[in-house]
Each structure stands twice: as structure tokens, then as C-alpha cells.
Amino acid sequence: MESVKLFGTWCSPYSRRVEMALKLKGVEYEYVEEDLKNKSPDLLKYNPVHKKVPLLLHNGKPISESLLILEYIDETWSGPAILPSDPYDRAMARFWAKFLDEKCWPAMIRACMRTGEEQEKANEEANEVLTFLENKLIGKKFFGGDTIGLVDITANLIAHWHRFFEEFSEIMQPPLITKEKFPNICEWVNDYTNCSFVKENLPEKDKLAQLYKARIQAAKAAAQ
């Protein structure tokens, strides 16, 4: 019998990506909640390089790194496609997913965390990366076109987690993402977070808000 086990943490956008992909494909799986302050022997054994969640264990074989797990899930199980079939479209999906993780999200965090003169520059950078995404959505409902794909699942950071960062950093006035500046992104957030399999796999708002509030306060206290 097939065994699928996911090691994750409830608040991680990276773990949630994997849950969304498994749900999209209709794959049954066992979920193991990890305490990152006291990692399980299984996590350390199966992910000795990064020692991080998410970790997918499929018939005893470990796969880590959320974007690589999404590709593995797409190549292993049938059901709605996560990546497009055309090689060029696949390259573009991989490119924008990587862009979200490596360029876009770090720029958004910097904009929410920096103050004074530094913030102006960080804001400019965040606006620049978000403009690329805004333009990717021209004439499209999702980054994947008519259906949700790799880039949409990766962008769950923007759809859900970002608002908590923005709310509790208290320095983002006006907010980074507004209907006036980024109408396509705002519409996408709405369409995406209202898809049933996405909605069911986003962490509860109040719980996430509480966690982010505490984290940001701790970061500020440490910086003083």
C-alpha cells in the first residue's frame, strides 16, 4: 500500500504549498506537525542537509524543498496539472516561482521591517517586484491561466501571509498592496483564496495574526 507522509508546521507557507498540491491531486496523506524548536528524529534523519520542513516521505523516500516537492507531486500523481505541459511554459512557471521565493518575498519583508531612509529604498524595490507580478496577471485569472498552477501555489505567501506581516509591522502606511496600485494582484488574491482547496489549507487568521504579532514584536525588541 502506498504511504505518503508530510512533515510540516501549521504556520509555514512552504508546508501549506505541499498540502495544497496534495489536495489538488486528491492524494491521501498523513500529516506530522513538527515542533521546529525540538525537531523530530525522523525529520533530522530524512532531511540531514537542511533539517527543515516541508519534508515529503513517499513510500519511505524523502523529498525536501517545497518547489521540488511540488514538481515531484506533479510528476508522480495524475489529476489537475500543477506545471504546464509545454517546455517553455514550464520554464516560465519555474522562473516565476523562483522569483517569488528569492526576490519578491525577501523584498516585501524588507519593506515591512525597515524604517527611516532604508524603508524608502525597500519600498521601491518591493513595488518593482510586485509590478512584475501585476503585469503577469494581465488578461489572466490565475498565474497558471484559467486554473491554479505552480506560481499560484507558490504565491500563497502574498495571498495570505503577507497581510499579517503588513498589519503588525505597523510601518507600512500606505499598505504595500492596494487595489489602486496592484488591482490584478488584489483580484487574484480574492479568486485564489476563495478556491475551496486553497481556503481549506490556509492557516486560521487569528492564530496566524497572534503568531506574527509576537514574532515582529520580538524582532523589534531585539533590534533596540
Tell the smallest beta-carbon distance from residue 96 to a second copy (Å). Answer: 9
Cβ contacts of 92 within 8 Å, gap of 6 or more: none
Distances (CA, A) of 12 to 67, 159, 175, 197, 223: 14, 13, 23, 17, 24
Closer residue to a second copy in complex, CB, 87/139: 87
Nearer to a second copy, 6 or 216 (CB): 6
Provide, rounded to whole angstroms, the least separation between the CB of residue 62 and a second copy.
Answer: 10
Separation CA 48–CA 56 (nearest Å): 14
User: Taking the complex as a whole, how short is the minimal distance between the CB of residue 78 and a second copy, in angstroms?
Assistant: 12
Strand partners of residue 148: none
**Grid coordinates standing for 64?**
525536501
Q: Report the residue number, 115 or 132, with the smaller CB distance to a second copy.
A: 132
Footprint of a second copy (CB under 8 A): 49, 58, 61, 63-65, 68-69, 71-72, 75-76, 87-88, 90-91, 94-95, 98-99, 103, 132
State the Cα–Cα distance between residues 80 and 182, nearest whole angstrom: 28
Q: Read off φ and ψ for residue 197, nearest 5 degrees.
A: -75, -20
C-alpha 173/C-alpha 176 separation (Å) is 8
Q: Which is nearer to a second copy, 87 or 116 (CB)?
A: 87
- Return the DSSP state at 49: T
Give least dist CB 106 to a second copy, A: 14
Nearest residue (CB) to a second copy, 69 versus 189: 69
Please state the closest distance from residue 15 (CB atom) to a second copy, in A. Answer: 17
Q: Are 101 and 154 in contact (CB under 8 A)?
A: yes
